[in-house]
Amino acid sequence: MIKCRVSSEMKSNNRMQVLITGGSSGIGLELAKQFAVDGYEILLVASNEERLLRAKKMLTHQYSVPVSTYTFDLAKQGMAERLYEAVKADGHVIDVLVNNAGIGTIGATEEIPLVKDEALMMLNMMAPVVLTKLFLREMYGRKTGRILNVCSTGAYQPGPYTATYYASKSFLLSYTKAVRFESKQHGVSVCALCPGTTDTGFFTRADSKTPKGAMSAEKVASYAYKHFMRGKAEIIPGLSFRLMKLCPVSIKTAVVAWVKRPKSS
């Protein structure tokens, strides 16, 4: 069993509660471990129940924290609202929301089926907007709360041959910065996490291979957690990815096109 850090934010009687979408694997699961070390009650959301239950078992066993799972396909219309209702019906008060679930698509724009783009946009943009809006209202009422929206370094540029994905992350980053501005006066901290390539199941899901130089999800999560808790606006784990942000957009765009262009094009 892993020993818990004592969180300065821990409520006197109850545990703080964190809801993490896409918490069954990759960056989301590593973030869940960081919260667990601080003794948070964890609520995990994903579309696959089996993977969720596996994550729950591991967290409960290793960190001795309460874990609940919510099986929802957030790429489907109305599911984010239903998730919110289910969490409320179970009597949870969410102190921290992590909008992490996301998928990518790779290929020539005209070749990618529209249904895939639609699912990506629902999951990467609509679900975080719905959940931010609903939980923000409650957090404003309590004058406290934190929201972490997982964007990407792809948010800083266009992404040829992965156009919808990069655009969705640009949307989420811009949205996050705007809501952060509004939320300050209500005592709520809204932050953006912009990881570079990270070694998770993300690329396999997009029918691709994890690029060389990818960071481990564990390193991404521990860096992100520390800076999120300090209220940093934009968090980019990894010095090389922070430096890459300074590179001219035209060059980065050409590099992405070169890397992602299908072999046949």
Residues serving a catalytic function are 165
Question: Site residues for ligand NAP, window 190-219 (CB under 6 A)?
Answer: 195, 197-198, 200-202, 205, 217
Pick one of 39, 102, 107, 160: the residue that binds ligand NAP (CB under 6 A).
102
Q: Can you say whether residue 31 is alpha, beta or left, with left for phi > 0 and alpha for psi between -120 and 50 degrees?
A: alpha
Pick one of 19, 27, 42, 163: the residue that binds ligand NAP (CB under 6 A).
27
CB of 106 to ligand NAP, least distance (A): 12
- Residue 237 near ligand NAP by CB under 6 A: no
Q: Which residue stretch of 69-77, 88-96, 107-115, 236-244 sits at the interface with ligand NAP (rule: CB under 6 A)?
A: 69-77
Residue 82 near residue 56, CB atoms below 8 Å: no
- Residue 159 near ligand NAP by CB under 6 A: no
Query: Could you tell me the CA-to-CA distances from 200 to 41, 112, 197, 257 in Å, in that order?
Result: 24, 22, 9, 22
- Residue 96 near ligand NAP by CB under 6 A: no
DSSP label at residue 126? I
Residue labelled with tokens 């990881």: 195
Q: Which is nearer to ligand NAP, 138 or 199 (CB)?
A: 199
CA separation for the pair 179, 188 (Å, rounded): 10
List of residues 6+ apart from 19 with CB closer than 8 A: 43, 45, 87, 92, 94, 96, 97, 98, 131, 135
- Residue 157 near ligand NAP by CB under 6 A: no
Question: Site residues for ligand NAP, window 104-123 (CB under 6 A)?
Answer: 123
Please give the sequence-ordered ranges of beta strands (E in DSSP) within the chain, or none if there are none. 17-21, 41-46, 67-71, 96-99, 145-150, 188-193, 198-199, 215-216, 234-235
Question: Site residues for ligand NAP, window 167-186 (CB under 6 A)?
Answer: none
- Residue 101 near ligand NAP by CB under 6 A: yes
Pick one of 16, 18, 19, 25: the residue that binds ligand NAP (CB under 6 A).
25
Contacting residues toward ligand NAP, per CB under 6 A: 21-28, 46-48, 51, 73-75, 100-103, 123, 150, 152, 195, 197-198, 200-202, 205, 217
